[in-house]
Chain A
Amino acid sequence: MTKNLNAKKLSLIALCAIILLVIPILLGDYHVHVINQIGIFIILVTSLNLILGYTGQLSFAHIGLFAIGAYTSSILMMTYNVPFLLSLLLSMVASAFFGLLVGLIALRFTTHFFAIVTLAFGEIIRLIIYNMPDLTGGPNGIYNIPFPPNVFGLDFSQRSHFYYIILIGAVATVLFVKYMIGTRTGKAMIAVRENETFAQFIGINTWKVKMISFTLSAALAGFAGSIYAHYNSYISPYSFTMMESVTLLLMVIIGGVGTIFGPILGAAFLITLPELLRDVNEWRLVIFGALLVLTIMFMPKGLLGLFKSIQEKVKSSKKPVSNIDSGLGEEERKSVGS
């Protein structure tokens, strides 16, 4: 049985891998572009999911840490001619460093105080970027950020080539987060989310665990930021507003908070939606606002949770005898933070 399952799983993975690898060959530039955007946001929301979904801390600072990654990488490469891979690494370090600083202050607080302090930091970062035109171009932003030339012998000035960088980045990030939550520290993060007080009393240094989660999450946000900047070749403070921060949260929540696949689904859904419905594009934020309210009200476990409960319903209608009650109510309420 398990062997069968593994074989099935393996072939599924192989199939996905092949599809992912040939996408740029099959699809046109425009579609590859959309997929690239999705890929970048998968990195970003997967990292947000580490702190929000797995550690249960509602952070609005993520967009700011993403911005730090984007600006660090652009400035290093354009002003100081640092090679791409190094500036990618340094932008992760920079974001992690700022994440550590923000965490040091914000993680002293819990629940809504943590949320508002991170929101403040997100805005502070944006306002500082806005007010330092010499370094960041101020409200005008930075133009003509170069594509990374010649990494491992590949030229990334083509979107189809850049696709592979993003693909590797996204897969690496998802696998890293999946690995992370399997470790003892990762389990401790989930323990903090589930019941912070109890976690303390079984010997988990909850502050330390939250710091680790926040810093790692920041580093990955920096990673996404760097790729974002080089891929889109233009950044400005307007790409990193609170509205965008809310969109990120929506991606995680609508997909399914605290699951590996949920944020991927959420990012894909929310980026494709306005692209599919061209007329609707300008109503994007109106729709996102409504979606956020509706998700919280009617499916706090996100699309993934919805699929699962439908699946369970179908299953249980086949097998009427089920003596384990689902306990959904309890879980639903704890879906974010608590």
Chain B
Amino acid sequence: MLNIQDLCVNYEKNQVIKGISMEVKEGEIVTLIGANGAGKTTLLRTISGIKSSSSGSIEFMGNPIHKMPSHKIVDLGIGHIPEGRRVFPEMTVKENLEMGAYRRKDSKEMKKELDHIFELFPRLKERISQRAGTLSGGEQQMLAIGRAIMLRPKVYLFDEPSLGIAPLVIAEIAQMIKRLNEEEGATILLVEQNANLALKLSHRAYILETGKISLEGPSEELANDDRVQKIYLGYE
């Protein structure tokens, strides 16, 4: 579904992604884990067209998207839940959700979608006219996920959904990601620092180390592989 070939991305002179090839198949949860500064967020931003790549290709359902502007990529059905939630702080919860459906034309369907999201996250319904900036971190994460669901994307890109969130809420959000995949058949690319959590959630995993993929395989296998811990803790 999503196919990345030999992708390189630079920030000024700094090559952050140094030739990555990976694939996400339909219906899968694929996770990309790795320590700080490995280039995970950059990869997701490049897929969504916020950051431009310097070489290599990204294909989504057969369309090359690495030269497309981000709003066209959204139209194709890629929903990105960015690192740090990035809700619109001065807008209400409802307005935030409406922004999620910005590219959709069918207003009736949108209403249904809204009800669906409030079913998934009853807490958002209670806060419907509250400014998003006043929500707690966990609630903002739910809002960010809800905002992405509004688009009904074919692929969700989750960027560090557990970052800066209370442990209890992390579990809730993890459940939500699982449900999206199992009940609604969503394809998910999950970027996480929390390797143990990500490996439990996903089917397959790639481990990124300073811009390169150093390990890949089924998540269950990697969960018991002590090489993962060694990469994280800097053993030679």
The reply to whether chain A is a binding partner of chain B is: yes
Which A residues contact B (CB, under 8 angstroms)? Answer: 327, 330
B12 contacts across to A, CB distance below 8 A = 330
| Closest CB in chain B relative to A150 CB, distance in Å | 60
CA A327 – CA B12 in complex, angstroms? 9
Number of A-B residue pairs at CB separation under 8 A: 3
State the Cβ distance, A39 to closest chain B Cβ, in Å. Answer: 42
Closest to A330 in B: B12
Alpha-carbon gap, A327 to B10, bound state (A): 14
Q: For residues 1 through 26 of chain B, which have their beta carbon under 8 Å from a beta carbon of chain A? A: 12-13
Shortest B117–chain A CB gap in Å is 42
Chain B residues in 8 Å Cβ range of A330: 12-13
User: How many whole Å from A256's CB to the nearest CB in chain B?
Assistant: 24
Residue of A nearest to B12 (CB): A330
Interchain nearest-CB distance for A178 vs B (Å): 31
Shortest CB distance A194–B (Å)? 15
Shortest distance from the beta carbon of B13 to any chain A beta carbon, whole Å: 8
Contacts of A327 in B (CB 8 A): 13
3 tightest Cβ-Cβ pairs between the two chains A and B = A330-B12, A327-B13, A330-B13
Q: How far, in whole Å, are A327 and B13 apart by their CA atoms in the complex?
A: 9
CB distance from A333 to the nearest CB of B (A): 10
Measured between alpha carbons, how far is A219 from B12 in the docked complex, in Å?
40
Least Cβ distance of B88 to chain A in Å? 26
C-alpha spacing A330/B11, complex, angstroms: 11
Chain A residues with CB below 8 A from B13, complex form: 327, 330
In the assembly, what is the distance between CA of A253 and CA of B158, in Å? 46
* Chain B 123-162 residues near chain A, CB threshold 8 A: none
Complex: A159 Cα to B19 Cα, angstroms: 69
In the assembled complex, the CB of A328 is this many whole angstroms from the nearest CB of chain B, namely 12
- A218 to B13 CA separation, bound complex (whole angstroms): 39
Q: How far is the CB of A135 from chain B (nearest CB, A)?
A: 53
Closest beta carbon of chain B to A85's beta carbon, Å: 52
Subset of 3 A-B contacts with CB under 8 Å: A327-B13, A330-B12, A330-B13
Q: Write the nearest CB–CB distance from A324 to chain B, whole angstroms.
A: 12
Q: CA separation between A302 and B13, bound complex, in Å?
A: 24
In the complex the two chains form, what is the Cα distance from A330 to B14 in whole Å?
Answer: 13
Closest-by-CB residue of B relative to A327 is B13
Chain A nearest CB: distance from B69 CB in Å?
Answer: 21
CB closest chain-B residue, reference A325: B13
Complex Cα gap A233–B13 (Å)? 55
A190 to B13, CA, bound (A): 23
Complex Cα spacing A240 to B13, Å: 44
Closest Cβ of chain B to A334, distance in Å, is: 12
Closest chain A CB from B15 CB (angstroms): 13
**In the complex, how many angstroms separate the beta carbon of A211 from the nearest chain B beta carbon?**
32
A155 and B170 CA atoms in complex are apart in Å by 88
Interface residue ranges of B55-70 to A (CB < 8 Å): none
Min CB–CB distance A330 → chain B (angstroms): 6
Write the nearest CB–CB distance from B171 to chain A, whole angstroms.
41
What's the minimum C-beta distance from B191 to chain A, rounded to whole angstroms?
29
- Cβ distance B56 to chain A, nearest Cβ, rounded Å: 20
**CA–CA, A330 to B13, complex, Å?**
9
Q: How far is the CB of A76 from chain B (nearest CB, A)?
A: 53
Give the distance to chain B from A322, nearest Cβ to Cβ, in Å. Answer: 16
Within the complex, the shortest CB–CB distance from A325 to chain B, in Å, comes to 8
CB distance from B105 to the nearest CB of A (A): 38
Q: How far is the CA of A330 from the CA of B12 in the complex (A)?
A: 8
A82 and B12 alpha carbons, distance in the complex (Å): 58
CB distance from A92 to the nearest CB of B (A): 43
How far in angstroms is the closest Cβ of chain A from B52?
14
CA distance A269 to B146 in the complex (A): 61
